[in-house]
């Protein structure tokens, strides 16, 4: 799926979550208003009659609130249904929803003015519900819808004032129209906030998608064990006892001399792919792909006491695989050494790479190179031999040799 499409779907999913939360808030507000209104009707009749000519008129306003509350509950259930089914709300939903919500305070004002015959009731608390709906429109995450909410709220209130205004009202008509302007201004502010929130959510989704894409690519380039260890431990620098293996494809240059780049790549995949899979099966980690071979480690980044045994089994399985895959006609040389290494991230602040370094790595690399000199396929050190001796049968001690950069001679053992 294209990244843009994935981000669009993710944004729509977030929009559904926001809409559910928005309706919950409105249900709470209007549920509380309805309960308080009913309690007022039951317990404070005298107070009600100071503002309304009859209890019936007051009850009519309560029924308007209850009707709207039922409308919100039904819409909440509908949106939840969409979420559970994995569906997206129609694009026109938010426009219709905003229009219907803004109509509630308009209907409430018109109803109370019509029943009581008092234009002064435009100052009633119902006016404040316009702002509640304008603010809640931010949750649509669509600036134009928030602007629309402010526009129709201001227009509706202005029309009511224009039709119902009388000279005995508390303020001049201009003051009431100024309220309409405040409603429009509220819509503009809500639109600006919705735009900012939308931008931030879109950026967060984009970054998350990019992170997942890079992580997937990283998993293809680096052993999954490294990825898991980096996440769990943040991979601080550590000193570990490990086994390092170097593997080289014999005669690689001659084999690929007349191949095209595509054919070379396919040859590498055919030869190295199964070997890398064998390393993974024995809890090893391929640290570097070298074109004509690779470097692998056992016991890092996750510590294992049987790291040498795992390396020995990997080497054995690799030779068995090559013997049973005669169509490849490939021979390899392997060198293995066990000892302490330093593991962790190296590099700059901007670019780091998980690395294993130390004398153990140098010795293992040199042992692999010595296969050509000794005409062997697998050379190991005495340290490796001691750690894996219980599973080593046929072997031949070749004596000691000096390795450049290493002060002490290294005892070499050939595995057969």
Task: Write the CATH number for 298.
Answer: 3.30.70.1230
Q: 209 and 249: one domain?
A: no
Residue 2: the pLDDT is 46
Radius of gyration of the chain (CA): 38
- The residue among 301, 293, 305 whose CA lies nearest residue 335 is 293
Residues 238, 239, 244: CA angle, nearest 5 degrees: 115
Q: 200 and 235: one domain?
A: no
Contact, 314 vs 278, CB < 8 A? Answer: yes
Burial classification of residue 209, based on how many CB atoms lie within 10 Å of its CB (0-12 exposed, 13-18 middle, 19 or more buried): middle
Q: 150 and 259: one domain?
A: no
Q: Measured between alpha carbons, how far is 312 from 56 in angstroms, rounded to an integer?
A: 91
Contact, 156 vs 102, CB < 8 A? Answer: yes
Residue 110: the pLDDT is 86
Written as six digits, the tokens of 238 are 């550590």
Q: 166 and 256: one domain?
A: no
Q: Which residue has the tokens 């931010």?
A: 138
Q: How many helices (H) and strands (E) does the chain have?
A: 13, 8
pTM of the predicted protein model: 0.54
Residue 182: the pLDDT is 92
| The last residue of a domain, from among 164, 193, 215 | 215
Give the DSSP H or E segment for 155: helix 143-164
List the chain pLDDT tens, one digit each, 416 residues: 444 455 555 566 677 888 888 899 999 988 898 888 888 878 777 777 777 777 888 888 888 888 889 999 998 998 888 888 888 888 798 899 999 999 988 888 888 888 877 776 777 777 888 999 999 998 888 899 999 999 999 999 999 888 887 776 777 888 888 989 999 999 999 999 999 988 887 787 777 776 666 666 556 555 565 566 666 655 567 889 999 999 999 988 888 888 898 988 898 888 899 999 999 889 888 888 888 899 999 998 888 899 999 999 999 999 999 988 877 788 999 999 999 999 877 766 666 666 788 999 999 999 999 999 999 999 999 999 999 999 988 899 999 988 887 888 999 999 98
Contact, 200 vs 193, CB < 8 A? Answer: no
Contact, 373 vs 383, CB < 8 A? Answer: no
Burial classification of residue 74, based on how many CB atoms lie within 10 Å of its CB (0-12 exposed, 13-18 middle, 19 or more buried): exposed
Number of folded domains that form the chain: 2
Residue 4: the pLDDT is 46
Q: 126 and 201: one domain?
A: yes
- One DSSP character per residue, 62-115 reads HHHHHHHHHHHHHHHHHHHHHHHHT----TTHHHHHHHHHHHHHHHHHHHHHHH
**CA 74 → CA 81, 120, 287, 340, distances in Å?**
11, 34, 58, 67
Q: 19 and 116: one domain?
A: yes
Q: 163 and 35: one domain?
A: yes
Written as six digits, the tokens of 19 are 């809409």
Q: 15 and 100: one domain?
A: yes
Q: 9 and 149: one domain?
A: yes
Q: 47 and 98: one domain?
A: yes
Domain housing 192: 3-215
Residue 3: the pLDDT is 44
Q: Which residue has the tokens 């009659």?
A: 49
- The residue among 305, 336, 334, 313 whose CA lies nearest residue 241 is 305
| The last residue of a domain, from among 215, 234, 258 | 215
Q: 137 and 231: one domain?
A: no
The CB density around residue 168, as the number of other CB atoms within 10 Å, is 8
Contacts with 202 (C-beta within 8 Å, 6 or more apart), sequence order: 7, 11
Q: 183 and 236: one domain?
A: no
| The last residue of a domain, from among 215, 242, 273 | 215
Written as six digits, the tokens of 210 are 């990019």
**CA 169 → CA 175, 249, 310, distances in Å?**
11, 96, 91
């Amino acid at each position: 799926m294209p990244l843009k499409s994935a981000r669009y779907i993710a944004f729509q999913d977030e929009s559904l979550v926001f809409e559910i939360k928005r309706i919950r808030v409105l249900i709470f507000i209007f549920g509380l208003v309805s309960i308080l209104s009913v309690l007022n009707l039951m317990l404070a009749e005298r107070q009600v009659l100071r503002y309304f000519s009859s209890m019936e008129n007051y009850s009519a306003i309560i029924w308007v609130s209850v009707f709207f509350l039922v409308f919100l509950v039904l819409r909440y259930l509908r949106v939840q249904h969409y979420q559970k089914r994995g569906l997206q709300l129609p694009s026109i939903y938010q426009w219709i929803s905003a229009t219907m919500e803004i109509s509630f305070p308009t209907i409430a004002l018109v109803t109370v003015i019509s029943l009581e015959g008092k234009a002064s009731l435009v100052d009633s608390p119902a006016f404040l519900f316009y702002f509640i709906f304008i603010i809640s429109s931010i949750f649509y995450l669509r600036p134009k819808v928030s602007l629309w909410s402010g526009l129709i709220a201001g227009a509706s209130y202005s029309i009511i004032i224009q039709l119902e205004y009388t000279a005995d009202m508390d303020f001049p008509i201009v003051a009431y129209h100024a309220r309409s302007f405040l409603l429009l201004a509220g819509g503009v502010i809500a639109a600006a906030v919705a735009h900012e929130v939308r931008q931030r959510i879109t950026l967060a989704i984009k970054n998350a998608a990019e992170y997942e894409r890079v992580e997937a690519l990283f998993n293809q380039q680096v052993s999954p064990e490294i990825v898991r260890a980096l996440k769990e431990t943040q991979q601080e620098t550590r000193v570990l006892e490990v086994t390092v293996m170097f593997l080289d494809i014999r005669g690689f240059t001659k084999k690929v001399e007349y191949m095209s780049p595509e054919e070379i790549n396919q040859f590498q995949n055919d030869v190295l792919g199964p070997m890398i899979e064998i390393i993974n099966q024995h809890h090893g980690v391929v640290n570097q792909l070298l074109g004509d071979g690779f470097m692998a480690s056992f016991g890092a980044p996750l510590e294992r006491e049987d790291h040498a045994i795992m390396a020995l089994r990997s080497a054995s399985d690799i030779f068995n695989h090559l013997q049973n895959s005669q169509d490849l006609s490939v021979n390899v040389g392997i060198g293995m050494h066990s000892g302490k290494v330093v593991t962790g991230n190296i590099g700059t602040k901007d670019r780091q790479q998980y690395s294993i370094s130390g004398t153990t790595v140098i010795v293992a690399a040199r042992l692999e190179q010595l296969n050509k000199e000794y005409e062997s396929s697998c050379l190991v050190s005495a340290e490796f031999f001691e750690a894996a001796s219980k599973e080593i049968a046929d072997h031949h001690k070749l004596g000691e040799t000096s390795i450049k950069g290493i002060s002490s001679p290294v005892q070499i053992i050939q595995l057969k």
